[in-house]
Amino acid sequence: MRKRLPKILRREQVESLLCAIYPGDGRYRKSEAAAVRNRAAAEVMYRAGLRVSEVCALAPDTVDLDEGYIFVRRGKGDKDRVVPLDDRAAEWIRRWLAVRPGDSPYLFCSLSGGRLSDRYVRQVIAQAGEKAGVWLE
């Protein structure tokens, strides 16, 4: 039995989806920190190729913004790997770090410092896809 190939989004569709999460213009005043976090996490998933579970498990000390890499601990297959981080993803992480709660073992934490669930991140992406008119499986 053949597996279906995944649907691939065009670059402009990805940009629409990312902007639907947070356009970066300060319009989400009530929960701007959460919106910046969500956009930063989505940028990392897209630009560094991380899975939802990997982005939720990242620790602050696994990211080197100056050198431009992320150390992914126990990714798929329970293997460690180093992935490159481009300037745009690094900039979104910096924006998140400027408003992130101080003492959490998770890079992308809740506003109270807890771990984000995979389900929550998938929901953010799905809602952004709907808002942007981008079909996601």
Whether pLDDT at 102 is above 80 = yes
- Residue 26 has a pLDDT of 65
- Structure pTM? 0.88
Q: What is the mean pLDDT of residues 36-61?
A: 96
Q: How confident is the model at residue 76 (pLDDT cuts 50, 70, 90)?
A: low
Q: How confident is the model at residue 78 (pLDDT cuts 50, 70, 90)?
A: confident
Distance CA 28, CA 26 (A): 6
Query: Is 17 exposed, middle or buried (CB count within 10 Å of its CB: 0-12, 13-18, 19+)?
Result: buried
11-132 fold: hpI Integrase; Chain A (1.10.443)
Mean of all residue pLDDT scores within the chain: 89
- Residue 29 has a pLDDT of 62
Distance CA 88, CA 85 (A): 8
Of residues 22 and 106, more confidently modeled:
106
Residue among 72, 73, 27, 56 at smallest CA distance from 122: 56
- Residue 24 has a pLDDT of 72
